[in-house]
Amino acid sequence: MRSRLRNFLVCTTLLSSSTAIAQGPLELVSPPEVELPFGDAAFPEGNGAQALNEHCLACHSPDHVLNQPSLPRAGWEDTVKKMIRAYKVEISQEDQKRIVDYLTATKGLD
């Protein structure tokens, strides 16, 4: 529960801070350079990793997704559908399949 709440807050903060930037006064301020170790910043290589990097990192880290309990394929399908339904993530049918394939291969129970 706690981690869900934190996730929601992180997500809301990200969304609201980008709005704040868009509405702020026009100042030329360069964003701070932040170097993240590669492992934290992207899903580990594998078929479909690119689709997750594209669609899933706006709101949570790869660790957050990969530290969930393993699920059978249908469970990952439900999770991806839930992200689409609840959080309005737009993902093509092809990418949904790539994402479910990746998660089933990495954290599957089948």
Q: Tell me which residues touch ligand HEC (CB under 6 A).
A: 4, 7-8, 11, 52, 55-56, 58-60, 65, 68, 79-80, 82-83, 87, 89, 91, 99
> What are the angstrom distances between the C-alpha of 56 and each of 18, 42, 43, 45, 91?
17, 10, 10, 15, 10
The nearer residue to ligand HEC, 83 or 104, going by C-beta atoms, is 83
The nearer residue to ligand HEC, 39 or 54, going by C-beta atoms, is 54
The nearer residue to ligand HEC, 15 or 21, going by C-beta atoms, is 15
Write out the DSSP string of 29-92. Answer: -PPPP----HHHHS--SSTTHHHHHHHTTTTS-HHHHHTSPPB-HHHHHHHHHHHHHHH-----
Closest CB 24 distance from ligand HEC, rounded Å: 22
C-alpha 55: how far from chain center: 6
Closest CB 29 distance from ligand HEC, rounded Å: 26
The nearer residue to ligand HEC, 35 or 90, going by C-beta atoms, is 90
Q: H or E stretch including 95?
A: helix 93-107
Closest CB 31 distance from ligand HEC, rounded Å: 21
